[in-house]
Chain A
Amino acid sequence: MNNDDLRTYVSALSAEISFEEGGQYLTVLCGTNEFRKLMERLRYDAASDFDYMFCLSGLDWKTHFQVVYHLESMKNGHGLVVKLKVNRENPEAPTVCDIWRTAEFHEREVFDLFGIRFKDHPDLRRLFLDDTWGFPLRKDYSDDKTIVQL
């Protein structure tokens, strides 16, 4: 499917999603409520068949967090980006590691560096850092001891 077809297809899946313009891939904006259902449809429907998640990243927009999922279908050859908006006060997102197994490590990394908790993740521990450490990739993170400001 090309981007226009994908757009009609994805907008039929859920009423509560919107699209972001101007990106390289078709970008879907989504909230935590409809997220799981949308991702399951994207993965298991034969028309979309997004079997390969090639990137999962966290983003801090100061007012809210975003978890960005880059998806691709090895068979159909199309790509899609899903952006999940996460509340900054109580950062919690549904896990997708039962759908794409690569998400298990990637979600642990996002938890480690942003402090976003993934609900129902089988093994949510810090991946790189100590339990007492803060969340360094947040924009308000400061560490006078180990970060030298130039």
Chain B
Amino acid sequence: MNLFDDQPTKFVESEEDFVVNVGPQHPSTHGVLHLKIKLEGETVRDVQPHLGYIHRSIEKMSEAGSYRQFSYLTSRMDYLSSHINNQACALAVEKAIQVEVPERARVIRILMAELTRLASHELWWGATGLDIGAVTPFFFSFRDREAILDIFEETCGARLTMNYMVPGGVMIDIHPNFQRRVKDLLPKLRKNLKEYDELLTGNIIFEERTKGVGYLSPEDAVSYGCTGPVARGSGVRCDIRKRYPYDGYEKVQFEEIIETGGDCYARYKVRMREMEQSIRIVEQLIDTIPEGDFQAKTKNVLKPPKGEWFVRVETARGELGVYLVSDGTMHPYRVKFRSPNFSNLSALKQMSVGGKMGDLVATMATLDLVIPDIDR
């Protein structure tokens, strides 16, 4: 990466330009993201992200693996939504080889996906507090996230890179304790969400830092390809679970959360209200997991016919698209991941130019970026 010579567009135009490098190792970037920020006093004039510090070319590696193997790499993309990433790959392969997934597996998948969303939003909430200057939320959120990860660990054997959802269903059946532990946890989470609100939502300093900051209009959100809570905070109806339901989301009752503020506070509110909806979905399904197989019978070596398939799912950060092209052999010809963070990051300049340096940190916090998902 050439950091000094920015041809064809020159970032530094004159000697008076004041450039600040944020990252690649900086607490408010949550990963190896390098931002070059041009300042005039404390006002941001230009932002340029430098990517590639954690680029592993997962798309190239996927071409070398088989149709069963490539989904394991995707747990390492957006590591806070690893269940949902695996689910997207499993759905793409199932579509290609035309396998019907058993009802039990579909319900387990939704349960896991929603618990993942909860855990992810909880981590985001703590980290946002930390970015804006409140230290306590971090401990509260990690306490609750830990409880969810313990449940994952019991069933999947892993806490971060789960690799639990495979083509045809899920890898193993849920642990006998799963239902009881989730049911014990849900009322506690409900209670703790109220605590979250008391701690941060109504806080005057927090509201001053986030209200009217980092505005993104609905037209820009769509044009930049923003999805998830970022676009829904600007009033765009983009929840894939509602628009193109998969794995039985059409059967559960939940609300698509829309806020119209378009600022950091609106994005904050979207995620806070989304957590309640995730709890609601889990509550509906936890007592009625159908009996039966947890995995459909598939061949050992998967060989889809020639063709291409596109699968869209809603991760905790927005729309993940898996574009799978097959040439009829046992390896995928091309796998493209349309990752939500990549598009969300591209709107950062639009949101932060003209604002203050401190506002940029607040904007970054509510964008909720996971860097390995951008670099892939």
Shortest CB-to-CB span from A85 to chain B, Å, is 15
CB closest chain-B residue, reference A74: B222
A-B contact count (CB 8 A): 87
Complex Cα distance A68/B321, Å?
A: 13
Complex Cα distance A106/B225, Å?
A: 10
Interface positions of B from 210 to 234, Cβ below 8 Å from A: 220, 222-225
Complex Cα distance A55/B343, Å?
A: 10
0/1 string, B1-23, CB within 8 A of A gives 1: 11000111100000000000000
Chain B contact residues (Cβ within 8 angstroms of A): what range? 35 or more
Chain A contacts for B310, CB-based, 8 A: 24-25, 55, 70
The main secondary structure of chain B at its interface with chain A is mixed
Complex Cα distance A150/B61, Å?
A: 11
Q: Which of B9, B224, B307 contacts A102 (CB 8 A)?
A: B224
Complex Cα distance A68/B324, Å?
A: 12
A123 and B346 in contact (CB under 8 A), knowing A25-B310, A51-B223?
Answer: no
Shortest CB-to-CB span from A28 to chain B, Å, is 14
Inter-chain contact B52/A129, CB cutoff 8 Å: yes
A136 and B60 in contact (CB under 8 A), knowing A54-B321, A100-B225?
Answer: yes
CB of B309 within 8 Å of the partner chain: yes
Inter-chain contact B224/A101, CB cutoff 8 Å: yes
Chain A contacts for B206, CB-based, 8 A: none
Complex Cα distance A57/B338, Å?
A: 9
Chain B contacts for A100, CB-based, 8 A: 223, 225
CB of B26 within 8 Å of the partner chain: no
A101 and B220 in contact (CB under 8 A), knowing A57-B323, A74-B238?
Answer: yes
CB of B196 within 8 Å of the partner chain: no
A130 and B1 in contact (CB under 8 A), knowing A57-B336, A123-B8, A125-B6?
Answer: yes
Inter-chain contact B321/A55, CB cutoff 8 Å: yes
CB of B334 within 8 Å of the partner chain: yes
Complex Cα distance A122/B334, Å?
A: 28
Q: Which of B51, B237, B312, B343 contacts A128 (CB 8 A)?
A: B51
The main secondary structure of chain A at its interface with chain B is loop
Shortest CB-to-CB span from B81 to chain A, Å, is 18
Chain A contact residues (Cβ within 8 angstroms of B): what range? 35 or more
Max chain A CB contacts within 10 Å: which of B6, B307, B338? B338
CB closest chain-B residue, reference A55: B338
Interface positions of A from 6 to 62, Cβ below 8 Å from B: 22-25, 51-55, 57, 59-60
Shortest CB-to-CB span from B215 to chain A, Å, is 16
0/1 string, B315-344, CB within 8 A of A gives 1: 000010101010000000010101000110
Chain B contacts for A129, CB-based, 8 A: 1, 52, 55
Q: Which of A23, A102, A123, A130 contacts B225 (CB 8 A)?
A: A102
Inter-chain contact B2/A131, CB cutoff 8 Å: yes
Interface positions of B from 162 to 201, Cβ below 8 Å from A: none
Residues of B at the A interface (CB closer than 8 Å) are 1-2, 6-9, 51-52, 55, 57, 59-60, 64, 220, 222-225, 236-238, 307-310, 312, 319, 321, 323, 325, 334, 336, 338, 342-343, 345-346, 350, 375
25 A-B residue pairings within 8 Å (CB atoms): A23-B308, A24-B310, A25-B310, A54-B225, A54-B321, A54-B338, A55-B321, A74-B222, A74-B236, A100-B225, A101-B350, A102-B225, A102-B343, A104-B346, A105-B345, A105-B346, A106-B342, A113-B57, A113-B59, A123-B8, A125-B8, A127-B51, A129-B55, A137-B57, A150-B64
